[in-house]
Amino acid sequence: MFGIYNKIRRTGCVTEPFSVSDDPIAELGAACQKEIAARFSGSLAIRMVDAGSCNGCELEMHAVNNSFYDIERFGIHFVASPRHADLLLVTGVVSRHMQEALKRTYAAIPAPKLVVAMGDCAGHGGEFGISYASCGPVSNVIPVDAIIPGCPPTPIALMQGILQLLRQKREKNG
């Protein structure tokens, strides 16, 4: 047990200030935290659905929860039930076998709701496009509010994408 405490003490805090790119993200982060505070009572709940991803996007989605990015500090967290969610984060083209599951998950999220298509597949069809097995990009199946490009998007790009969407919504709604 002491070994564990000792390891935690020596590892320290690795969480980074959120200002890795040129964009004034720290400012953006603070602004969006304010936005989340006002519109989502301080916490934005995300339900993710892999609608036909290769699993690359999921790996980077996991990464935003690691100690370096720690997306929860901005009040953003992932939830198990769509009933608890404010935002639906979708990866992959929508396989026809997942079409109904995606639509039902979308329907189960209480309004007002946001939908983000993560990655080139979800955004534009990527390598897979439309076929007998694939409906193509997410916007072919449910309405999409924002696309985060990348294959897969880096954790920073994912955070930027979510935060920018919140800012856009704030500006639009005054």
Partner 1 sequence: MKQQLRGNVADFADKLAAVGIRAQESNSLAGIAIQLQLKSKDWDFAAQIAAQYNLRWSAIWGDHQPPNIVIKVLFFGADGHLLLQTEVTEESPELTTQTPYFIAANRPERYLRDMFGVQFLENSDQRRWIRHQAWAETDFPLRQDFPVAGRPLENTAPDNGYPFAPVAGEGVYEIPVGPVHAGIIEPGHFRFQAMGEDILRLEERLGYVHKGIEKIVVGRDLEGLIRLSGRVSGDSTVAHSWAACQAAEHALGIEPPPRALILRAIFSERERIANHLGDIGAICNDVGFAFAQYQTSRLRELWQRQNQAVFGHRLLMDMLVVGGISADLSEDAAVSMQNEISQLRIELEELLPLLLESPSLQDRLLDYAILTPEDAQRLGAVGYVGRASNLQDDLRRDAPYAPYDQLKVKVPAFSEGDLTSRLRVRGEEIFVSLSLLSQLLQRLPAGDLTVNYSLPDHETEGIGLVEGWRGETLAYLRLDNQGNVLRYFPRDPSWLTWQSLEMMLDGVIVPDFPVCNKSVNGSYAGHDL
Shortest CB 4 distance to partner 1, Å: 6
Residues 76 and 162 sit within 8 Å (Cβ to Cβ):
yes
Pick 69 or 74: Cβ nearer partner 1? 69
Size of the site for partner 1 (CB under 8 A): 52
Q: Is 161 in the site for partner 1 (CB under 8 A)?
A: no
Task: Give the per-residue contact string, 88-127, with partner 1 (x = CB under 8 A; - = no).
Answer: ----xx-xxxxxxx---x--------------------xx
Contacting residue, 26, 37, 38, 59, with partner 1 by CB under 8 A: 59
CA–CA dist 62, 65 (Å, integer): 6
Q: Which helix (DSSP H) or strand (DSSP E) does residue 105 occupy?
A: helix 99-108
CA–CA dist 104, 101 (Å, integer): 5
CA dihedral sign, ordered 54, 58, 63, 69:
positive
Shortest CB 36 distance to partner 1, Å: 20
Q: Is 149 in the site for partner 1 (CB under 8 A)?
A: no
Q: Are strands 114-118 and 87-91 parallel, antiparallel or unpaired?
A: parallel
CA–CA dist 146, 32 (Å, integer): 16
Query: Applying CB under 8 A, which part among 26-34, 45-53, 110-118, 159-167 lies near partner 1?
Result: 45-53
Shortest CB 116 distance to partner 1, Å: 14
Q: Report the candidate in 49, 78, 53, 44 with the shortest Cα–Cα distance to residue 63.
A: 78
Tell the burial category of 91 from Cβ atoms under 10 Å away from its Cβ (0-12, 13-18, 19+): buried
Q: Is 7 in the site for partner 1 (CB under 8 A)?
A: yes
Pick 93 or 146: Cβ nearer partner 1? 93
Q: Which residues bind partner 1 (CB under 8 A)?
A: 3-4, 7-8, 11, 14, 48-63, 65-68, 78, 80-81, 92-93, 95-101, 105, 126-135, 151-152, 154
